Amino acid sequence: MDRTQVSLCGITLDNPIIPASGTFGYGYEFAELYDINILGSFSFKGTTGEARFGNPTPRIAECQAGMINSVGLQNPGIDRVISEELPKARKCFNKSIMANIGGFSIEEYVSNCEKIDKEDQIGWIEVNISCPNVHGGGMALGTDPEMAAAIVKAVKAVTTKPVIIKLTPNVTDIVSIAKACEDAGADGISLINTLLGMRIDLKAKKPVVANKMGGYSGPGVFPVALRMVYQVYDAVQIPVVGMGGITTAEDVIEMMLAGATAVEVGAANLTDPFASKKIIEALPAAMDKYGINKLSDIIGGAH
């Protein structure tokens, strides 16, 4: 186990594999299939202040190398997550959990993060700043370095746990936003969130997804995610959590060589609920194949 251990913001993980937010619920659903304590951690479903039903259906469109989703942050709201979902998770997962927090204003981010920071089992707060900003005319908060920095400063003022900022890839300069977050006090950066995409139904001659567009994820986005992780690792001194199209142990090694300290597995969990388990089990053999003694030694090794 020591071979696969990594340290993320001062917390030791048995391995770097973390199922990504929105693909693993609040953990206990997958615990019915296998012992989820083999995971490094997991990032729970994106949680907002109020309960959200999400976007209209259909929300999913298949693609050749992935999928498009437009779920729209469906969740029961922060108070019910704390009172109902986390107690269920505690019964089947005895490690630190990553809390994924969303919001539609700085005030909402601050309130949500302040509440979740008090929960013992939460190890890190992953702040998703690629949600629409209803106070700013629909602009995504995470596309503006100054707005991103303002969120980080506000959240850090009310939290004691490591704050990892999850960035959108739908920008021309990911580095400037990552650096703005670091300068504002972020403890880590996670990237990438989904790429904006769409499909059109040829028979109906209209978009497949009711929301017209959605987030594209899956193996097709891996080269883009890898490039952005590589760029951000070069630019910041804080840990990077890499994600986007990871399906194999080799993908994990490649992402860590690009600069990721830990790796989130997303869409793969939706097509195969055992995906994260299989990747963890395959890691030692993949390490042997490429002459890797300890995973922690290869972080940023391609630079």
Report the alpha-carbon distance of residue 139 to residue 141 in Å, rounded: 6
User: What does the alpha-carbon distance between residue 55 and residue 73 come to, in Å, rounded to a whole number?
Assistant: 8
Q: Which residues are catalytic?
A: 131
Residues facing residue 122 across a β-bridge: 97
The H-or-E segment that residue 137 falls in is none
Distance in angstroms (rounded) separating the CA atoms of residues 301 and 303: 6
Per-residue buried b or exposed e for 119-151, using 16+ beta carbons within 10 Å of the residue's own CB: beebbbbbbbbbbebeeeeeebbbbbbebbbbb
Helix, strand or coil for residue 66? strand
What number of other Cβ atoms are within 10 A of residue 47's Cβ? Answer: 28
Give the C-alpha separation, 108 to 190, whole Å. 20
